[in-house]
Amino acid sequence: MSSIEEAKKVSSETPEHQPVNGDATDVGSKTKDDFDLAAAYVSDAQYNRNTFFDTSPQAVRLYQLYNHRGMKLFIYVFIIVDLGLAVFEEPALIPDMPIWATGVVELVCLIAFTARLVHYAKVIPHDKFWMDPKNIFIIVIISLSLVDMITYVGLKTAGHFGVRWSRVLRPLLLVNITEGRQLRRAFRSIRNALPQIMYVFLLFMFSVLMFSLMGLKLFGKRGLKTVEGASYFTNYLEIVFDLYVLVTTANSPDVMMPAYNYSSFFAVFFIVYILINTYIFMSVFLAVVYNNYKKYLKEEVRQLVKAKRRKMLRAFGVLQSGAGQESSVSKAHWTQLVCLVQPGISSGHRELLWSVSDDDKKGSIGKMAFVQLPDLLNIQVITMKSRPHPLKIWLPGLYNSAGSRLVRRMVQHRVFVYVYDVIILVNAVFIGLDEENPLISNAEWIFLALYLLEIVLKLYTFEPRAFFNKHEFWNWFDTIIVVAALIATIATSALKSSGYTSREILDIVFILRVFRLIRVVDSIQRFRAIINTLIKIWPTILTFGQLILVVYYIFAMVGMELFKNKIQFYGPNSTNPHKDYCGNPLLQGTAFAKNNYCKNNFNDVASSFVLLLELTVVNQWHVLASGFTSVTHMSARIFFVLFHIVVVIIIINIFVAFILEAFFVEYTLDKSDLQTSLEKKIEELELNFTLDETEGNLVDAMETNHDDLGPSQAPKEKPSLVFKIASRRYKTVDGLLQRMFEADLSLEDIDEEDEENPNFPNPVFGAV
């Protein structure tokens, strides 16, 4: 082919001049359906959805509806309502709700879940639908719930005893809905780590059993007594339980004292036991959980990245012009696609992304650049128009006067921050003092005025829309707290002058006052850096919050069925004669009753959750457990030990593993390549925007030795449209995860482009 012919060919491939053709791989101008399909692929890639949706236009539109934010909100609301039913159901926190009412609400929820599932079934091919375990799971949960409801109502109306056993299934909906991706991943990594945890656990239990046997032989025949006067180390199963509790440290040093009092040498037994089982084995558990967690997560994220790339290649296939190496997507098509995927995107932001993708300014982008689109969209870019302060426009004479300039310089000076830090500290002392004193209560007004003055001065100095940008967390925090405190304080004094005092409103006032003090943290660079890191890992903490919710809910439901109303709480001012033993004579003289733990019961869902939290914290869990075994049966211990194994040994360790990993990512990987290239482009185009130079992450702040740079700086005179990368906050948890393993993945994933296989196998992300 001559060069002239080649040039002709290239020019003839300019998309606008091609005949209309529905076939995705052909060149040509695209239909609305093509864009819808491509947008669905890009959106899936952006949010790491792995749905095998039907590519027919109506299915794609249904799929877009399925993924609509409102639909997701709708399904979460119904799940929360369904879970929340536990508040009204027997044993109820808020009683007097008839069975038919909760039944109807549950039925509505089940219908909503069914509707959502039917919608999903319409979106994806039938064979795929029935192969996906999470759909089967939802069908099973809905059916079982219906069966349970019917039998329960039947039993109740016939006057029989019935148990709402299907309630333990409810939280599993949270795991199995399409949106529960992160949660499923967390459960999968637990499931994958289980075999190894098992081996360590068995060895650990072997060690506990051996020590128990030794303890029985050493102490059993010596006739020792515990502080309560019970016989000490005489029953093997009791010893096993006591030593298991010692691993959790909850009965240290009490379990040792009788033997230690008898002979100092016996302390060696317990010291060796604690060293081996509490310190070494518990560390090994963390190591095993952490290592497995990391390993499987890595593999999953690798698959995610692959799947994302495949989806983008499909989208590229739909929109491409030209064939083979020459194929590309024109700017017009790209723009249309981006507008579909992210309707709210500003044109400036879009142009910026295009200029990053089309670095050579060719007017069209190839496969490699196109594939990066979802990652680019996932980088939070703050677009804002750089504009002068409104006062500068309205009252230029006043705003530019010498006095005004002095005020603005003052506010920007670091001494301004120091002065307010001192004010906050003085305020803290005043809060600590007795608020009944009129001097103190009046001082509150002064402090409020000072804080308001600060906000006004800052608004005078900085452009208000930049100051109240949605990413300026601390500015919003300060303002909301100060304004809320002002309102609450005014409300209190109004009430007080009308002779009425509400303890509750006073509580809120105090909380808001103390919250105001948190601002000190904001003004110290290193503290802010730590807090920023914590805020960044927040989405993950929320995923673990869901995980904990699922496990707690299941244990709460089981616990309520097992232990409801066995222990009664009578309130601190009650004069009920049963108060001293929680309304159950079996508790007379037990540590449970002595410690006044009566309110730690399974009589309603809120108490159950608080109790489970106390069990998670571990301390005194054996006392709580023994309270429930006293009122039921020795085997009730199984419930508590199982809870300890599941929550403390497995879930809390996974939580710690995640925090560690997330911190290390913050420490090592500073920015992704893509983000850097975006930042470079922003700087290249001189579109960068700085309200606050001192913001950084924990690493920057700790590694560099420079001191606090003082408060925010005013935006410089810059082009009318400026951008800022919202530090390194990720829109999705997947984004953080992918970043966690980016360093290891990037190379190997560029290797295998496997475009020759368009019928790619979707990685199986089954349900738990």
- Out of 81, 169, 419, 428, which residue is the one contacting a copy of itself (CB under 8 A)? 428
Per CB under 8 A, the segment of 5-13, 338-346, 592-600, 726-734 that binds a copy of itself is 592-600
597 binds a copy of itself (CB under 8 A): yes
Of residues 281-310, which lie at the interface with a copy of itself (CB under 8 A)?
Answer: 283-284, 286-288, 290-291
Long-range contacts of 697-700 (CB under 8 A, 24+ apart): 697/529, 697/532, 697/533, 697/536, 697/666, 697/670, 697/727, 697/728, 698/529, 698/530, 698/532, 698/533, 698/663, 698/666, 698/667, 699/666, 699/667, 699/670, 700/529, 700/670
Of residues 299-358, which lie at the interface with a copy of itself (CB under 8 A)?
Answer: none
Cα(659)–Cα(642) distance, integer angstroms: 24
Cβ-based nearer residue to a copy of itself, 395 or 617: 617
Of residues 393-422, which lie at the interface with a copy of itself (CB under 8 A)?
Answer: none
Per CB under 8 A, the segment of 2-10, 179-187, 216-224, 388-396 that binds a copy of itself is 216-224
Q: Least distance in Å: CB of 662 to a copy of itself?
A: 8
In the shown chain, the binding pattern of residues 624 to 643 toward a copy of itself, with x for contact by CB under 8 A and - for none, equals x-------------------
Write out the DSSP string of 269-280. HHHHHIIIIIII
Of residues 598-617, which lie at the interface with a copy of itself (CB under 8 A)?
Answer: 599-600, 606-607, 610, 613-614, 617
Q: Least distance in Å: CB of 130 to a copy of itself?
A: 31
Cβ-based nearer residue to a copy of itself, 457 or 520: 520
Q: Least distance in Å: CB of 639 to a copy of itself?
A: 18
618 binds a copy of itself (CB under 8 A): yes
Q: Least distance in Å: CB of 605 to a copy of itself?
A: 12
What's the start-to-end Cα distance of the chain, in Å?
Answer: 57
Q: Least distance in Å: CB of 378 to a copy of itself?
A: 25
- Out of 18, 151, 441, 620, which residue is the one contacting a copy of itself (CB under 8 A)? 620
- Out of 87, 107, 136, 214, which residue is the one contacting a copy of itself (CB under 8 A)? 214
Q: Least distance in Å: CB of 109 to a copy of itself?
A: 26
Half-sphere exposure of 132 toward its Cβ, with a 13 Å CA cutoff?
Answer: 23
Tokens of 417: 């921050």
Q: What does the buried/exposed string (b/e) look like for 423-440 if buried means 16 or more CB atoms within 10 Å of the residue's CB?
A: bbeebeebbeeebeeeee
Q: What does the buried/exposed string (b/e) look like for 602-623 if buried means 16 or more CB atoms within 10 Å of the residue's CB?
A: bbbbebbbebbeebbebebbbb
Cβ-based nearer residue to a copy of itself, 353 or 587: 587
On the 0-12 / 13-18 / 19+ scale of CB atoms within 10 A, 307 is buried
Cβ-based nearer residue to a copy of itself, 113 or 544: 544
Residues in binding contact with a copy of itself, number by CB under 8 A: 88
Cα-based angle 610, 614, 617 (whole degrees, multiple of 5): 140
Per CB under 8 A, the segment of 159-167, 309-317, 660-668, 720-728 that binds a copy of itself is 660-668
- DSSP letter (8 states) at residue 86: G
Cα(744)–Cα(196) distance, integer angstroms: 24
Cα(40)–Cα(538) distance, integer angstroms: 28
Cβ-based nearer residue to a copy of itself, 278 or 342: 278
Of residues 240-259, which lie at the interface with a copy of itself (CB under 8 A)?
Answer: 249-254, 257-258
Residues 15/29, Cβ–Cβ less than 8 Å: yes
- Out of 264, 497, 635, 759, which residue is the one contacting a copy of itself (CB under 8 A)? 264
Cβ-based nearer residue to a copy of itself, 652 or 687: 652
Cβ-based nearer residue to a copy of itself, 252 or 355: 252
Residue type, 324: G
432 binds a copy of itself (CB under 8 A): yes
Q: Is it true that the peptide bond before 253 is cis, omega within 30 degrees of 0?
A: yes
Of residues 521-580, which lie at the interface with a copy of itself (CB under 8 A)?
Answer: 521, 526-527, 530-531, 534, 541, 569, 571-572
Rg (CA), the chain: 32
507 binds a copy of itself (CB under 8 A): yes
Contacts of 288 (CB under 8 A, 6+ apart): 193, 196, 197, 200
Per CB under 8 A, the segment of 35-43, 450-458, 507-515, 550-558 that binds a copy of itself is 507-515
Closest residue by Cα to residue 377 from 404, 358, 354: 354
Cα(138)–Cα(183) distance, integer angstroms: 15
Q: Is it true that the peptide bond before 91 is cis, omega within 30 degrees of 0?
A: yes
Of residues 663-692, which lie at the interface with a copy of itself (CB under 8 A)?
Answer: 663-664, 667
3-state helix, strand, coil in the chain (%, to 5): 70, 5, 25
- Out of 121, 517, 591, 726, which residue is the one contacting a copy of itself (CB under 8 A)? 517
In the shown chain, the binding pattern of residues 190 to 209 toward a copy of itself, with x for contact by CB under 8 A and - for none, equals -----xx--xx-xx--x---
Per CB under 8 A, the segment of 412-420, 455-463, 475-483, 517-525 that binds a copy of itself is 517-525
Q: Least distance in Å: CB of 627 to a copy of itself?
A: 12
Residues 109/82, Cβ–Cβ less than 8 Å: yes
460 binds a copy of itself (CB under 8 A): no
Strands 364-365, 329-330: parallel, antiparallel or unpaired by DSSP?
antiparallel
- Out of 18, 50, 55, 278, which residue is the one contacting a copy of itself (CB under 8 A)? 278
